[in-house]
């Protein structure tokens, strides 16, 4: 019902005038824009990082094992005795501090294998040190697949590489050539261990990539035997040939062992070649450093 009171009309022009122009609106400081954008970006990255941390934690949690589980007095006696024998034999050719450092890298290398063995639900047999060559860990239980075997093979050189990097860092802190010599020897022995040859770690790793790599490794070994013939090299060639024969027999009897998915093959190949390149570079650089210091 109309009361008869006059209602003032607001013209469009007057309505527009009541809204402040854009120039009069409060502006955000550029720094505030940057900080808010950075906060959103950091939050997004942290969410992704959190997921990555959980993945990495879940992966490494499986390696939180006792590598010496199942070891008894005999196993520790063999490991300790062969380690002492190696140190004694090598001190005839090199100073004791270098030998002790080198053998400690070999020990960490072999412990890396033992950790991976236990992480796969298997048991290590004995750990033995071989003068002038390195060491080895035997398995009570055989790996279930070439992929598992390759991971066990990679664990040793990875652990040995980290040990060598520690000695290299100590050299950088102290400028003592002793630690540089130990680091260079560690890089070198871990690199040699990656040759794709039979009983070496590289032979086990390359089986999960392609067994054609064994042809290259065998060629290197034969070339070395021809250029520098010695009885030990001939023994190694015989052992490598026997190892290849056993692999051929196993493939016929247990085809599932060499069933490796393309993703697993790529993962092992990337890890293997990245390690070879890194160790090759470190060996070359640090041997040159040693040569420069000797002048």
- Domains of the chain, by residue range, sit at 29-61, 68-294
Q: pLDDT at position 155, please? A: 94
In 3D space, the residue among 280, 286, 28, 261 whose CA is nearest the CA of residue 146 turns out to be: 261
Q: Specify which residues 130 forms β-bridges with.
A: 134
pLDDT of residue 9: 47
User: Distance between CA atoms of 49 and 138, rounded to whole angstroms?
Assistant: 38
pTM for the structure as a whole:
0.73
Show the tokens assigned to 127: 């750990």
CB neighbour list of residue 196: distance below 8 Å, 6 or more residues apart? 202, 203, 205, 206, 213, 214, 216, 217
Q: How far apart are CA 38 and CA 27, in angstroms?
A: 19
Tell me the per-residue pLDDT of 215-260, one tens digit each, with 9 for 90 and over: 777 777 777 777 777 776 777 777 777 766 766 666 666 667 778 8
Which structure tokens are listed for 88?
């004694």
- Residue 144: which of 174, 108, 120 has the closest Cα? 120
Q: What does the pLDDT read at residue 138?
A: 82
Q: Which residues of the chain have pLDDT under 50?
A: 1-16, 25, 52, 54-59
């Amino acid at each position: 019902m109309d009361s008869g009171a006059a209602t003032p009309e607001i013209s469009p022009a007057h309505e527009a005038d009541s809204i402040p122009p854009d120039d009069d609106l409060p502006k955000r400081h550029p720094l505030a824009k940057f900080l808010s954008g950075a906060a959103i970006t950091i939050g997004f990255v942290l969410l992704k990082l959190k997921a990555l941390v959980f993945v990495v934690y879940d992966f490494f949690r499986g390696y939180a094992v006792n590598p010496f589980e199942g070891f008894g007095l005999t196993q520790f006696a063999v490991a300790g005795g062969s380690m002492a024998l190696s140190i004694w034999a090598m001190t005839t050719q090199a100073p004791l501090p270098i030998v002790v450092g080198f053998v400690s890298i070999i020990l960490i290398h072999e412990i890396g294998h033992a950790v991976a063995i236990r992480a796969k639900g298997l048991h290590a047999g004995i750990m033995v040190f071989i003068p002038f060559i390195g060491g080895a860990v035997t398995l009570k239980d055989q790996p279930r697949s070439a992929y598992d075997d390759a991971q066990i093979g990679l664990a040793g050189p990875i652990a040995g590489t980290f040990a060598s990097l520690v000695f290299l860092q100590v050299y950088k802190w102290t400028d003592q050539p002793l630690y540089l010599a130990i680091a260079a020897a560690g890089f070198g022995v871990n690199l040699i261990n990656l040759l794709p040859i039979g009983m070496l770690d590289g032979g086990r790793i390359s089986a999960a990539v392609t067994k054609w790599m064994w042809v290259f490794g065998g060629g290197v070994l034969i070339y070395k035997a021809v250029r520098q013939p010695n009885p030990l090299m001939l023994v190694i060639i015989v052992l490598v040939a026997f190892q290849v024969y056993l692999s051929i027999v196993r493939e016929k009897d247990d085809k599932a062992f060499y069933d490796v998915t393309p993703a697993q093959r790529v993962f092992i190949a990337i890890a293997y070649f990245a390690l070879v390149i890194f160790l090759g570079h470190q060996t070359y650089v640090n041997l040159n450093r040693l040569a420069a210091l000797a002048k």
